[in-house]
């Protein structure tokens, strides 16, 4: 399986922000506003000179995790990534799977979070349908390359929580579901859990 070079940027748009926003972007709705607020908080951490030394890496990552991952609905992401198998698991098994899945994402993106500081994100538009929203954006690299980033969010209380990220038409949730289904089909759910507990499994960006 080869790495998805483009999907390695799946979380970039929650970690970087445009230096300026156009008038249209400034009038964006609540989902975009909340995602941008998360971006701004993450930037404060990333740019804090006190947290830049290697000795502060653990503290820096912990602060980033608290800021960034508060915008994600990991329970919904885990449920969708497991697919139909989710409903066949006990509440205790579901709780464990959410915890293990969250740890996988933390490991997969710990370094990516700290890598992208100078790219620019342009918020394009958002679509809201009942309690769901799509926030579309693009990332422009320092080399002028552009990548589309689409956030799928669900309204939970007063907060828009991201449950999937689609980079260059590649869904984070669908990608993990394909991997997980292969393990379950070839072996068992118990084998999938064993692999999730192994910190070397699923440690990198999602694979094709």
21-40: per-residue pLDDT in tens? 333 343 345 888 888 888 77
Q: What is the pLDDT of residues 7-22, one digit of tens each?
A: 444 454 444 433 233 3
Distance from the first to the final alpha carbon of the chain: 6
31 vs 197: CA distance, rounded Å: 33
d(CA 13, CA 113): 10
Reported as a single tens digit per residue, the pLDDT across 175-195 is: 999 999 999 999 999 999 999
**What would the pLDDT profile of 124-133 be if each residue is shown by its tens digit?**
889 999 899 9
Q: What is the per-residue pLDDT for 89?
A: 97
Is residue 62 within 8 Å of residue 93, measured between CB atoms? no
The pTM for the full model equals 0.78
Dump strand ranges (E) for 28-85. Answer: none
pLDDT of residue 111: 59
């Amino acid at each position: 399986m080869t790495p998805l070079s483009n999907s390695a940027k799946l979380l970039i748009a929650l970690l970087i922000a445009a230096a300026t926003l156009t008038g249209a972007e400034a009038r964006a709705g609540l989902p975009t506003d909340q995602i941008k607020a998360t971006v701004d908080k993450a930037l404060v951490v990333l740019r804090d000179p006190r947290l830049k030394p290697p000795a502060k890496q653990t503290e820096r990552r912990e602060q980033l995790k608290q800021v960034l991952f508060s915008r994600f609905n990991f329970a919904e992401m885990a449920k969708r990534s497991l697919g139909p198998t989710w409903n066949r698991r006990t509440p205790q098994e579901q709780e464990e799977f959410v915890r293990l899945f969250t740890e996988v994402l933390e490991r997969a993106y710990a370094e990516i979070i700290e890598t992208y500081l100078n790219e620019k994100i342009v918020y394009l538009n958002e679509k809201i349908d009942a309690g769901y929203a799509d926030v579309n954006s693009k990332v422009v690299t320092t080399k002028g390359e552009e990548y589309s980033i689409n956030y799928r969010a669900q309204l939970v209380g007063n907060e828009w929580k991201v449950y999937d990220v689609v980079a260059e038409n590649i869904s984070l949730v669908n990608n993990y579901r394909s991997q997980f289904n292969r393990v379950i089909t070839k072996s068992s759910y118990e084998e999938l859990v064993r692999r999730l507990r192994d910190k070397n499994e699923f440690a990198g960006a999602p694979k094709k």
